[in-house]
Structure formats: structure tokens, C-alpha cells
């Protein structure tokens, strides 16, 4: 990973979720353009150049995959925060606590069912 990549990921940690998502989307667009450029250059390059371009293409595709995962995570995080805020505003803090307890109980029930299914295989 290059220094600019490390700097980008460190900067994301200090941003709010919505801002980090926008940064990731802009970076993803830039990487998509770069991948297009690499593919075009690879078609006209010699074998040796094509191999180095292929390595760079592989690295850039990996970065793109990592960005897509981060965007998906940030969007889920934002949705969760919005739901929490909506419950607090509409029903109060006590309702939020009850929702958290309910979700934890449901998770435990689902986890127990998955364990049972796994044991029967």
C-alpha cells in the first residue's frame, strides 16, 4: 500500500460517517477511471509493459473492492444511527432501551436456531 493510501484511510477514521462515505465514493470513481485507463493501456502495450500494468490493475481492483466494502459498512452505520435517532425522538429514551433489549434477545434466538441447524447437518 502506498503512502497516499495510508493517509487516505487514516483520514477516514477521523471523519463523520456521511463525510467518509462521500470521500469513499469520490475515490471509487477515481479508481474506476484509473482501471479503465489501465485496461486501455494494457491492450496496446508490449508483453513486459502489459505484465506491469496487470499488476497495477490487480492492486487497483483490490483497492476498489476495499472501498466498496467500506461504503457498504458506512451506509449501514448511517441507517442504524438514523433509526436510533428516530426511535428516540418519536418514543423516547426508554423505548430505545427496550428496542436494544429486543434486538439482543432476537439475535440470541436466531443464533441458537443457527446452532441447531448446524448440528443437524
Backbone angles phi, psi at 92, to 5 degrees: 95, 170
| pLDDT averages per 10-residue partition of the chain, 121 residues | 82 89 94 93 88 91 94 92 90 89 85 79 56
- Whether the Cβ atoms of residue 88 and residue 52 lie closer than 8 Å to each other: no
Backbone angles phi, psi at 2, to 5 degrees: -80, 165
Architecture of the domain made up of 3-90: Orthogonal Bundle (1.10)
Prediction pTM value: 0.72
Amino acid at each position: 500500500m502506498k503512502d497516499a493510501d495510508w493517509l487516505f484511510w487514516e483520514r477516514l477514521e477521523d471523519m463523520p460517517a456521511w463525510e467518509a462515505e462521500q470521500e469513499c465514493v469520490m475515490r471509487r470513481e477515481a479508481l474506476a477511471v484509473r482501471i479503465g485507463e489501465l485496461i486501455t493501456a494494457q491492450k496496446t502495450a508490449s508483453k513486459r509493459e502489459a505484465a506491469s500494468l496487470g499488476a497495477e490493475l490487480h492492486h487497483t481492483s483490490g483497492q476498489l473492492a476495499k472501498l466498496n466494502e467500506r461504503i457498504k459498512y458506512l451506509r449501514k452505520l448511517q441507517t442504524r444511527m438514523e433509526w436510533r435517532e428516530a426511535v428516540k425522538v418519536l418514543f423516547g429514551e426508554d423505548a430505545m432501551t427496550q428496542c436494544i433489549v429486543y434486538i439482543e434477545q432476537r439475535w440470541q434466538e436466531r443464533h441458537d436456531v443457527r446452532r441447531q441447524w448446524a448440528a443437524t447437518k
